[in-house]
Amino acid sequence: MNVDIRDTRRSFGKNKAVAGVDLQLGTGVFGLLGPNGAGKTSLLRMLATVLPPTSGEIWLLDRDPRRPAARREIRRRLGYLPQNLGYYPSFTVVEFVEYFALLKEMPSSAVPKAVAEAVERVDLGAKAKARLRTLSGGMLRRVGIAQAIVNDPHLLLLDEPTAGLDPEQRVQFRALLRVLGESATVIVSTHLVEDVGAACSEVALMFAGRIVFRGTPEELTARGGGHGVGDTPLERGYSAVLSAARS
Amino acid sequence: MSVMSVPLPRSARALWLEVKRNAVPYVLPLLAAVFYFDTLRTADGFPPVWTLRASVIPNHMLIEFSAFAGGLAAWAGSREGRRKTLDLVATMPRAAWARLGAALAGALCWLLLAFLAGVAVLYVQTALQATWGGPPLWPVLAGAAGVTVVTVIGFTCGVFFPGRFTAPLVAIGVLVPLQVGFREAVNVNVTASSGTTYALLSPISVPPPVETGVYYHVPPDVPIVQVMFMVGIAVALFGVLSLAPGLRQLASAGGRPLRVAAVTLVACGVAASWTAFALAGTARPDAVGGWQIPALHSAASDQPVPVTPDCTSGSAFQVCVHPAFSFYLDDVAAALDPVAAEIAGLPGAPAGAREVASMSGGQSVWSGISGNPPVFDFAAEHVGTTVGMFDGINSTMYIDSGIIPDAAAWREGFQQGLLDSFLIGPSQHSGFVPLDAAQQAVEDALLIAAGSQPQNPISQMGEKAFPETVAAVSAAARRFAALPASARHAWLAAHLAALRAGAITLAQLP
């Protein structure tokens, strides 16, 4: 299991952002759905070792992130795209990705090739030497994805990765996710249920800090039979599960 | 796509990225302009004496560089907070310490490079003009330590308080302790009293006496404690930096070994600074106008620097100056020769003039005539009854004190110094001794005969200078100057002893 979390909770004062989550994941693309404030980002930040849980156990890549040495090993194999990606405007695309490759402690000799591949995979080869300040929002998002995958991570955490991407880029990105999911655990937190339907082999729906549904996209679609609201079957399933959780 | 033929180590590559994308180069033109208009022009106004010129490094360069260094370092330090990459970098295995260290080093590399480039320009300019000595290194070290500590302070402020206004606030803020240090230093130079610790720890001070480092080495005692104090602060803050992410986010702390190393750094830095502070508290004035710290002092630096003076040749009245002041040898000779000619052959008249140190054994040395054959001794700092009559210093230092630079006054300073000594008597090294009316009239007459215009005699005559006396002195001086040179000489030969004894009245002057 690349991800093994048991009864994990995280509170911010009186607000329980994550209120007891159990999740065991192997390789594959895992979609994390939920409305605003459901606890998706907090859960992802805990999985990214940014945020320690208030209680519960988290094991990542068969290691306990509470131990510094293990945490360091996890981070070497981790890719993370935060919801609000900051960037350094004076850096070029290649320099930015290279900078994070170095911070991920990749071997120096492997960095140039890995950076070039990551930039190509997000279709930014033509903009490799462009300063980040000159890029559009969608391109910056792709730079963020490039830095997340540059170390060929075993655990890839993507928070709203397709926000700002144009339809063509989203299609390409879903294809990339499927490839990455063959050898790694990819967790995608998103509001866009069509991304989940197209790229994820499994999906969970969070509400009020808890996972209220877990299954395949097809199973989620089936939940919507005649009950939910939405333009697509998956959206109707999503809506139906949420309605049930609220009630 | 950048492809490296030989991969650099991770740290070196990260440092290269930080250097390449640092904000400092954008500000360098402005820094260069400030350097030119303040530091370089100020130095150019000083005589080309190494120690004096080098004093602009801490007194001007450091202030200018500190404001820029503090602000730019704060800008670099606040980058992760301003650009909102804290979450992302917190997931990186590389220790925050190493990451922040690379960013700090990137800014520091540029700032030190710019600082050293400025020093190089200053020293090349001085080397082209100086006639003796070599570039002092301690001001450079103290200045570099100052730039370093201000950079680390600014960077640390940026890390802990990231925001758009951090950089300008730090840029202004770092000037405060520097100005406090300067004010303390001014007080110390004036009073040489207690409470000097901070003044000595601050590299900023008033310009040193013109002959500092000329007759005696400048002991490195004070610069050593300054460097130790500043490096200690920098090391301690670097240790604090490594604790910053641990304080901010438990998950991104670098582990126990890193925290132990950080605490050790903080402890070492504080110990170094505290030691420097304690050492500065033991400083005491040395015998040649500087400061010594007993625990660091080497007796070797108290020994005079052996030199062969530069002397005029081909003239009956030989003038010798320290080779550091060779640039004004001809001016001094041109000033003294006509006056020396007026008194040549008279009892006690000097056969030459030589420059000596203005302090010896903790006492000021004033101009006077001594030796056999008699020689007029003068010090660069104390010529006659005036002080420090150098064109360079006049045009910069003394304007504030109301003394207007004046080439004629400079020339007459030497002439008066010689005549004061001659008229009062040989071996007079005790400083200002007022002349009586007849002595003043004779001195003025000899100055007129030598082609100079006597200054207001009030300063020469002290409390004896009543208005009616001044008018009578002037009339007697004009009368005596109107005599043929041979007549003046003959009268002086006959009445010099009485004149020196104060037994001649104005009415007795021919």
How would you write the pLDDT of chain B (510 residues) with one tens digit per residue? 444 455 678 889 999 999 999 999 999 999 999 999 999 998 887 888 899 899 999 989 999 999 999 999 999 999 999 999 988 999 999 888 889 999 999 999 999 999 999 999 999 999 998 989 999 999 999 999 999 999 999 999 999 999 889 999 999 998 887 777 666 665 655 444 445 777 788 887 777 777 788 888 888 889 999 999 999 999 999 888 877 655 544 434 456 677 788 889 999 999 999 999 999 888 888 776 778 888 888 877 778 888 899 999 878 899 999 998 888 888 888 889 999 998 988 888 899 998 888 777 777 777 788 888 889 988 876 554 444 444 433 333 333 344 445 667 777 777 888 888 888 765 545 555 677 888 888 988 999 898 887 765 555 555 555 556 778 888 888 899 999 989 999 999 999 889 888 888 888 888
Measured between CA atoms, how close is A156 to chain B, in angstroms? 12
Examine residue A82 and state whether it is found in any structural domain, yes or no: no
Based on the fold, state whether residues A7 and A47 are members of the same structural domain: yes
φ and ψ of B297, to 5 deg: -80, 140
Examine residue A171 and state whether it is found in any structural domain, yes or no: no
Average pLDDT of the segment spanning A19-39? 92
Based on the fold, state whether residues A159 and A51 are members of the same structural domain: yes
pLDDT, one tens digit per residue, over A93-126 is 999 999 999 999 999 999 999 999 999 999 999 9
Based on the fold, state whether residues A2 and A69 are members of the same structural domain: yes
Say how far apart CA B89 and CA B244 lie, in whole Å: 14
Say how far apart CA B316 and CA B430 lie, in whole Å: 28
Owning domain of residue A187 = 1-77+155-165+183-247
Examine residue A173 and state whether it is found in any structural domain, yes or no: no
Using CA coordinates, name the residue in chain B closest to A125: B1
Examine residue A177 and state whether it is found in any structural domain, yes or no: no
Using CA coordinates, name the residue in chain B closest to A111: B7
Element (H, E) at B285: strand B284-285
Chain A residues touching B255 at Cβ < 8 A:
68-69, 72
Residue type, B436: D
More confident residue, A46 or B335: A46
Measured between CA atoms, how close is A174 to chain B, in angstroms? 22
Examine residue A29 and state whether it is found in any structural domain, yes or no: yes
| B78-B79-B80 Cα angle (round to 5) | 100
Q: Are A77 and A155 in contact (CB under 8 A)?
A: yes
Examine residue A178 and state whether it is found in any structural domain, yes or no: no
Examine residue A176 and state whether it is found in any structural domain, yes or no: no
The number of angstroms, rounded, from the C-alpha of B192 to the middle of its chain's C-alpha atoms is 16
Based on the fold, state whether residues A32 and A62 are members of the same structural domain: yes
Measured between CA atoms, how close is A224 to chain B, in angstroms? 36
The number of angstroms, rounded, from the C-alpha of B360 to the middle of its chain's C-alpha atoms is 19
CA distances from B188 to B200, B201, B291, B294 (A): 9, 12, 11, 19
Based on the fold, state whether residues A56 and A159 are members of the same structural domain: yes
Based on the fold, state whether residues A199 and A148 are members of the same structural domain: no
Q: Tell me if chain B has a CB within 8 Å of the CB of A87.
A: yes
Based on the fold, state whether residues A232 and A142 are members of the same structural domain: no
Q: Do B83 and A112 touch (CB under 8 A)?
A: no
Q: Tell me if chain B has a CB within 8 Å of the CB of A85.
A: yes
Say how far apart CA B114 and CA B204 lie, in whole Å: 19
Say how far apart CA B392 and CA B380 lie, in whole Å: 12
Q: Do A88 and B17 touch (CB under 8 A)?
A: no
- Predicted confidence at residue B105, as pLDDT, reads 95
**DSSP β-ladder status, A210-215 and B284-285:** unpaired
**DSSP β-ladder status, B310-311 and B318-321:** antiparallel
- Predicted confidence at residue B463, as pLDDT, reads 54
pLDDT, one tens digit per residue, over A133-162 is 999 988 999 999 999 999 999 999 999 888
Chain B residues touching A124 at Cβ < 8 A:
none
Say how far apart CA B282 and CA B274 lie, in whole Å: 13
Q: Do B17 and A91 touch (CB under 8 A)?
A: yes
Measured between CA atoms, how close is A21 to chain B, in angstroms? 20
Say how far apart CA B21 and CA B102 lie, in whole Å: 12
Based on the fold, state whether residues A148 and A110 are members of the same structural domain: yes
**DSSP β-ladder status, A210-215 and A202-207:** antiparallel
Measured between CA atoms, how close is B106 to chain A, in angstroms? 14
User: Which residues of B make CB contacts under 8 Å with A?
Assistant: 1-4, 7-10, 13-14, 17, 20-21, 23, 79-80, 83-94, 99, 249-256
Chain B residues touching A68 at Cβ < 8 A:
253-256
| A129-A79-A82 Cα angle (round to 5) | 80
What pTM was estimated for this model as a whole?
A: 0.85
Based on the fold, state whether residues A134 and A66 are members of the same structural domain: no
More confident residue, A220 or B188: A220
* Local structure of residue A158 (DSSP, 8 states): E
Chain B residues touching A90 at Cβ < 8 A:
21, 23
How many domains are there within chain A? 2
- Predicted confidence at residue B390, as pLDDT, reads 45
Examine residue A117 and state whether it is found in any structural domain, yes or no: yes
Average pLDDT taken over every residue of chain A: 91
Q: Which of A86, A103, A115 sits opposite B84 (nearest CB)?
A: A86
- SS3 annotation, B93-129: CCCHHHHHHHHHHHHHHHHHHHHHHHHHHHHHHHHHH
Q: Do B21 and A90 touch (CB under 8 A)?
A: yes
pLDDT, one tens digit per residue, over A81-100 is 998 889 999 999 999 999 99
- Predicted confidence at residue A224, as pLDDT, reads 77
Residue type, B56: V
Based on the fold, state whether residues A103 and A210 are members of the same structural domain: no
Based on the fold, state whether residues A94 and A136 are members of the same structural domain: yes
Q: Do A78 and B91 touch (CB under 8 A)?
A: yes
Based on the fold, state whether residues A104 and A207 are members of the same structural domain: no
**What CATH number does the domain containing A211 carry?**
3.40.50.300
